[in-house]
Every structure is written in structure tokens, then in C-alpha cells.
Structure 1
């Protein structure tokens, strides 16, 4: 039985922008979840930074300068409340010549990573590749890639590249013989002759990664390195060509996992032993275009454990095609897809993350963007669709972490010589294979402007939970043109809750405590000003939560980083279950009546 105590406040406010005692701790994997040093379950939300790192324009860096990185990180915090980014770097720029590490490049990487950690944003590195290497492609090619250095490609002696009749750049993964041959050589660790002597390709990749990690640990401050989460060893792995009788499951077991263990050892030697490797399965394992999908997801790997994170991507290829899925996304569109990622992570004994997801912001199918993104974030938030959430909340489960593709402040203003061809200068969109995914652009006045629906990306979400999340939902009321997308309807059996929320945005968190001293935290979107935010919880019920001093069960405090970004703090050491409804609605209803309805629902649903 929950004990209900009603609290009110007439002095809403925000605490001084000093970092609180529970901020800035390291995050690792424990009990199948990301957890901080205080034992709280952590949810990571943010973006990839960025596709510009795949280009030569800024020499393999996401930003033209550290100043650009700093302004971008501040804008991301202010506009989205992001608390984590996936930061791209590439082999070609780390080791431009055999056995020569470009430490100046790594210094700049460290400075740009520091721009994000200075905002309290956690970072995990990604050794990125697409189609193996830009140096496989001829100057007049329709496509390009990134990843391996030129000297590796030249030593490989690959055939002239051609994708044939391809309508999407990703088809090069299977149709371009130069790409498939080079990728196969990587996995089979082919020995090539170089200016530094004979080198094995995969071993050399792992060596340069270790040197890069060693450099970055020494370049970053102790405080910044504490906010570095770990490393994604290789983006979107695939076989190139299978051996006779081999399929994706066998390839993962026999070639991909040994590579990850080799990389894990190199991380340990470089001083990253306390940070997990964010390992991706075969990229095609959860492709929703059936004729492109292949079996995978590590079903033949017994376990990953706490030193690895199950790291998957998801894109709706059917929606992007415009032909295979002509309509827009709806309620629960991706719950099965994202639950499959959750379930694989759980089966492998570790945390899961969706390190890439998104949808084009311009072009043929960009009209689907608001609904697709809303449905993807909904699937990250809960295992249960909105229409069934209140009845099925017991199956909602913990929130899934994710990094949207991508946050590129150079979007629409690139100057990339595609494949080093001065006659093919790419300026539009992402400047990479005709993609348009960036959630941000910079306007003519130098201001950051979202290219996506702000209500979708600046979301209420549990940054840290003092225990274990039992259920979470957020109704963002995202706008799609002139329509408002509302997929979670509060049931008629809760009239006081419905009256309290009205047409406002709302979220509900149910959690079980684990006795830790640090509070549960939820990011408050900019549409939730503290003075007009209502919280109805078993801990207190209040409109305009007070500023945090450490004594209040429900309070508001600034988040680390740029001023004006706030969080809700819920403090208790009891086991619970606990609940909190958070809304920016009109608050026309009775707090006490809404609290009683929620308490009865929690008791009936969670016991």
C-alpha cells in the first residue's frame, strides 16, 4: 500500500548552475543496464557527431574548429537536452601512412570531444566506415565511402569499382566487387606489402585504434575521460563475401566476435579497461526490407557480459523507399523492431543501445519524418504502444538508449570534393551519397536551427533512475504539418488525470528503488518551464516544483552545461514501486484526485 502525502509549493525556482554531487560520475554496464557510480540506471540520449567526419572537407573531423564544436555542443544541450553523443573518427585520418599515427589529428579529436564533455555530455567513440574506404571509388563514381587509408587500398590491388544498377548507396555492400573484396580481406586479415613492410590489414586496424585510444586518454582531462563511455570498434560490419557454406550467424561467431575480443584486449592495453566496447552485430540482421536482410544478432554467441554493449542500428528502409511503405508511421510502428534489440541485449547479458536511427529530413520521403521519428522514440521509451500502454504498462520495461543520426552543423553548406574530384563539389544536404539526415543546420545569421520537429527530439526522459525502471511513456504531441500526433490516450477510468493533463504533453515513470542516495532524474524539455510544470507522484504532488536544496522529495535543478536546461529530481530511498506523472498541461484538475487515481493504477498494475 502506498502512503500518500500531498505537498504544495508557492515558490518555484531553479538552483544555482553548479554541478551537483551526483553529477559527472563514470557510467559502466551492470545487471544488464548502463549504471553510474551511484548505482542508478542511466539512459543515454543524443546524436551522432557527425557525418562530416566521413568527409575530407574538414580532414576527418566533425567540426571545422573547436569553437564550432563548442557552439554545437551548447546548442545540442539547449535544444534537445541530449546527454550523450557518438563521436566519429576514421582509420584513414588516424594512420595516413603505414605505422605513422597522426597525433595532430588526434589532438583535434580530443579538443572536439572535450567540447561535449564540458557540457556534461557523455561520449562514445566510433571508428567509422562506410563501403570500406573512399579510396576504392574512382573520381567520377556516383558513390563514395570512408574508413581505410589510401595505402591499404593501394596495397590490396582491388578491381575497378562499380555497383551496376543501384538505387541506394548501401547496395554497394553486396553488389560492388571492389567493396566486397576489400571487406573480405579485412576480416580474413590479409597480409599486404607496404612501405613499412608486410602488414596484416585487420591487425593493423586494431593497432592504430589502440594507439588512438592511448593518445586520447592522455589528451583528455580526468574529468572529461570519466564522461567517455567507451568505443564502438567498427561501424556497420558485414562480411563482404561469405566463405563457402557460411552465413551471417557463422560469420559473426567465427570472424566478427574474435575481432571484437582482439579489439577489447587492445582497449585494455591502452588504459580503457573500465569502459565497454559497443559492439555491433551484422548490419543486415534487423533490416526490415526482407530481400536485403540476413540472419545475425549474435545468436551463436553465448554471452557478451558487462565489458561489451549490444549496439544495433535501425532504419525503416521501407519508409525511405517510398514504395514499400507508402503511408506514414503510426502508433507502435517500431515496438517489435526495438524490442528485438532489447531482447538480444538481455539474452547476451548486457545493456543495449540503438546507436543509429533516423529518417531523411529532405527529399522524396521526408514528409514521413515527424511520424517516423516519433514512432522510433516511442519504441525507445517503451516495449508497449501508446494505445495499449496503460493496460499493458507492466510489460513496458526499461527505457532503451539511443543516438539519432545525426547532428551536422555543416548540413547544406558543405564544400566536399567528392572522391577528390574538383568537378564534383558537394554542397547540399549531408554531402555524402545524397543523404539528408541532419537534425540541425546553421542559418545565415549563424544560429542553430532544427530541421526536425522540436517536440520529438527535446523529450522528457529518465536521465538516471535510482533503481530499475518498471515502465515509462512520453506523449510528445508532435506536430506533423497541421496535425498533432497523440498516440497515448489517458483512460476514461482516470478522469482527474485526464483533466490535469488536458491537451498538454505528459510522461509517466514507474520505478522500483534500490536504496541509493542519488535521486532519480528526468530531463525537462524546454516546453516544460519549471514554474508551470506539474508533478504528481507518490513522493509529492506539486505545480511549480521548488529549487533543489537536497531536502525536497520533488525538486528542479539545472542540468550540467549551458544555462536554461532543467531536470526534475525525485528523491527517495524506499523500494517502492514509485510513480511520477509529469505534465505541462493546464492543471485544471485536482492534484489529490489525480494522485489517488495513479496510486490505485500502480497498485493494481505493479503490486
Structure 2
């Protein structure tokens, strides 16, 4: 959610404060020790964008994106990850009928990223259920028309912010039918899960596709909170996991909590999910973060910085606790801000640093679209590009213990327990590492690729390795 006027007000603030206080009294949890890994067993640190919001409104559900855009993104920021939006309406335009041509278009764009070494997470995106909630399709995306049952209930369209549609009776009823709260359409959950099976069957052998994000920002209709997350939402995830694993045993599967509240720092009630694949489970946790003060219209400046930092602290602690309960690595699926607003760059750096401190496996910024929220506006770089373009370890030959970046000295430090996997790869920006980088202590064989700006380190096999890279 990009603005939280959905349930804003004194009552919601009281709930958030209460959740934060309860969280604070339990002590600060330890950083995550679970990570997304590649086929070599290396820890991946994923950094990139959602691609993209423009896909919500196009007839073919394709983002307004070219291969040249992908190439420029890597050249300017060294990203290695994309959360690529797909939609149920495009996968299954009619009940039981799957559009292979749509999946071919998705595959074509996946290859744009694959050529540049990216990892792709396919995100089944929805907002406000689907575009059939109104006759003109002016709001909503995700679900197909045939799965939209409003029962004649109204959906007003004169809202000052799009999230208010979630409170419309017709939208609530559409979700209630999907979650089988009404008992009238029990088939919808299975249709959704089988649509995921079709996607997984198409991409299971594509090495660029690292996994699947099962549903964007789930909304429970008339069922909310713990009752929703532990009930119908958990049931949907179990069905999707079963269908995906029937055709794809290797890809990661990511689950999201309820967006309202959890995005702001409240606790999640998602249960742990079993992974029927052979070997170690590959179930990840993909929450979003949109600090409540900023969602209510504040900037990250003196007046609201302390309040924002406090809510970020609650979010950090509650996300770490949920991930531990799920026994899952954390991948931040969305965060974003208007980069023209005061304090936006400071907040972006704050969240990037927080991710490193939490042991998050990576993040995708919302979104790749042009404009003040994105990296480019009218063909020119926004402040997001410079703030985003910082050194990071793309792949680590072991289990990370600490990742930290000193913006003053441009020193990147990576501490990890080495194992018998592939080499460590570190991206070094041209802006701060114009001649490449060097290790403060020689540790094994190093190679530098000035074209990709990747420093590769084959570290010795010993218990703990500390790599500190500084500009050459």
C-alpha cells in the first residue's frame, strides 16, 4: 500500500502504538540466520525493483518496459533482482483456460533480465481484487472478471485515494467469495492455486526464475487480522504450495502477511508452512514496509523522523519474530517513497542499512515506473539512482554474519562463515569505486571485471572470513 488513509485515524494509531509497546517489551530479536541461496549453495543478496506498476492497467498485463531499460538499470545501479508482476486475469482468462501466449511474453522479459545475471521472482499481483469491480475498469487489478462476484453490492468510485475501495461493500464481497467466507464459491481458491501450477510448470526449468510470490498484499474482506492470516490466507498458501511442488521442487516460494497493519509494524499471525520438496525447505517470507507516519503524509524530517524510526523498529522486531516462527528467510518485497520529498534519501539509506542489520536476503523497491517514486523521471535520473547505487555482495560463499557499509569511507565489510560453495561476488559502483576495489587484507584469489563491476573473491576455507573492500 502506498498511502495508508485506508484505516487511518486515532483508533488505528492506538492499535499501532499498542502493538509497538507490546513488541518493545519482549526485547530485540536476533538478526535472521536464514537466507535465500542459489544452486551452488551460496547466499544471495538480492537488490532491485518491482517491474512494474504499469502492468496493472495494460490490456496484456505487460509492464511498459524495454530491454534497453533493463540494461540501463544495471549500468546505473548494479541491481541483480526483479519482482516481476504477473496477474491471475492474464494467466487464466477463462475458467480452466490458461494463456500460454501471455506466459511466453513473460518468459521473453525474464530473458532480458537473465542475460544480465538477474534473479527473477514472479509476483501474482492484486490490488482491490480486480479491474472488474467497476464497469469501466478504472480501479483494481489482478483477478479475472469471471472470478469477480459482487452480488449487486455497490462500489463507489469517488474516492480521494485508491485504498478506500477496499471498504466498498462490493469489493469486500468479492474477497469474501474468494476466501470462501460466504460458502458460495469454494472453487475459486483451487482455481488460483492451479493457475500457480501453470506458471510454475512454465518456469520451473528457467534458471533465472528464483521463485514465486504467491499473492501481493492479501486483503481478507470481512475477515481480518489473526483470524484471516491463520485461517483462509494460510489455507490458500497451503494449496498453492501443493500445486507448485507437484511440478517444481526447486524454486523458492514466498508468502506475504496481511498488508494492513503489518506493513506499518504490527505483528503477523501467519503460521509456519511445510515444504514437501526433498531436502531443505525453500519457503521464504516476503513482507512489505510502508512506515505509518509517511503513509499518513508526513516526511522523514525533524517533525516525524523519531516517530518513523520508532515504527520501523517495531516493524523490524515483528518481522524477525515472524520469520523465525516461519523458519524462513526474509525478502523485502516492497518499500518506496516519493524521492522529491524532504528526507527521502535519508529514509532510503535508513531502510537499506536496516536490511543489512536484520540479515534480510534482499529487497525490491516500488517501483521501476518513471516518475518521482522511481529511478527515472522524464528520462533523467532521480535522487533514487545515486542513493541506490551502493556496493553490496551479490553472492556470498558461505553464511553471512554481518554486512555493513560505511558511506563516509565507502568501505564495505562482509563477515561470513565460509563453506564449500562458489566464490563471493561483490558489486562496486563506478561513482565511489572508479578504479575498482581492493581488499584491506589479502584473502585468496581475486578478479575484477570492469564491465560488470564485479569483484570476485575465492576465499580460503576457514571458519570465519572478514572481507573489507575499499576503493582502489
TM-score of the aligned structures, taking structure 1 as reference length: 0.66
Q: Deviations over 1:192-216 (max 9, x none)?
A: 7xxxxx8822222222232233234
Decide whether the 8 Å contact of 2:50 with 2:365 is kept in 1: yes
Aligned partners of 2:386, 2:282: CA distance in 1, in Å? Answer: 35
Aligned partners of 2:353, 2:190: CA distance in 1, in Å? Answer: 40
Which residue pairs with 1:113 in the alignment? 110
Decide whether the 8 Å contact of 1:44 with 1:84 is kept in 2: yes
Which residue pairs with 1:455 in the alignment? 386
Runs of 5+ consecutive residues of structure 2 not aligned to the other structure: 1-31
Which residue pairs with 2:336 in the alignment? 358
Which residue pairs with 1:177 in the alignment? 169
In structure 2, the residue corresponding to 1:262 is in which secondary structure?
helix
Q: Deviations over 1:390-436 (max 9, x none)?
A: xxxxxxxx34411111112xx3xxxxxxxxxxxxxxxxx5xxxxxx5
Question: Structure 2 residue aligned with 1:322, among 297, 301, 305?
Answer: 297
Q: Deviations over 1:65-97 (max 9, x none)?
A: xxx532122112111111111111111122223
Which residue pairs with 2:198 in the alignment? 211
Aligned partners of 1:98, 1:303: CA distance in 2, in Å? Answer: 29
Deviation at 1:326, TM superposition (A): 5.7
Which residue pairs with 1:145 in the alignment? 140
Which residue pairs with 2:347 in the alignment? 372
Decide whether the 8 Å contact of 2:132 with 2:145 is kept in 1: yes
Deviation at 1:44, TM superposition (A): 1.2
Which residue pairs with 1:403 in the alignment? 364
The alignment status of 1:566 with 2:453, answered yes or no, reads yes
Aligned partners of 2:161, 2:85: CA distance in 1, in Å? Answer: 22
Number of equivalences: 434
List aligned pairs for 1:485-564, cutoff 5 A.
503-514=408-419, 516=420, 518-529=422-433, 531=435, 533-537=437-441, 539=442, 553-557=445-449, 564=451
Which residue pairs with 1:255 in the alignment? 232
Q: Deviations over 1:449-479 (max 9, x none)?
A: 4323333211211112222212111134xxx
Question: Structure 2 residue aligned with 1:187, among 159, 162, 179?
Answer: 179
Aligned partners of 1:240, 1:399: CA distance in 2, in Å? Answer: 30
Change (3 A) 1:399 1:204: closer
Q: Deviations over 1:531-575 (max 9, x none)?
A: 3534313x35xxxxxxxxxxx5333236xxxxx221222222332
Q: Which moved more, 1:123-132 or 1:564-573?
A: 564-573
Decide whether the 8 Å contact of 1:91 with 1:127 is kept in 2: yes
Question: Structure 1 residue aligned with 2:212, among 231, 240, 246?
Answer: 231
Which residue pairs with 1:577 in the alignment? 464
Change (3 A) 1:458 1:337: same
Change (3 A) 1:152 1:100: same
Aligned partners of 1:146, 1:97: CA distance in 2, in Å? Answer: 16
In structure 2, the residue corresponding to 1:315 is in which secondary structure?
coil
Aligned partners of 1:470, 1:307: CA distance in 2, in Å? Answer: 20
Aligned partners of 2:269, 2:82: CA distance in 1, in Å? Answer: 23
Change (3 A) 1:532 1:150: closer
Deviation at 1:45, TM superposition (A): 1.2
Decide whether the 8 Å contact of 1:314 with 1:356 is kept in 2: yes
Which residue pairs with 2:69 in the alignment? 72
Change (3 A) 1:150 1:517: closer
Which residue pairs with 1:481 in the alignment? none
TM-score of the aligned structures, taking structure 2 as reference length: 0.83
Runs of 5+ consecutive residues of structure 1 not aligned to the other structure: 1-29, 193-197, 384-397, 412-428, 430-435, 444-448, 477-502, 541-551, 559-563, 588-607
Deviation at 1:347, TM superposition (A): 2.8
Aligned partners of 2:165, 2:449: CA distance in 1, in Å? Answer: 49
Aligned partners of 1:301, 1:209: CA distance in 2, in Å? Answer: 20
Aligned partners of 1:114, 1:288: CA distance in 2, in Å? Answer: 35
Aligned partners of 1:170, 1:118: CA distance in 2, in Å? Answer: 37
- State the structure with more CA Rg: 1
Decide whether the 8 Å contact of 1:89 with 1:127 is kept in 2: yes
Change (3 A) 1:351 1:199: closer
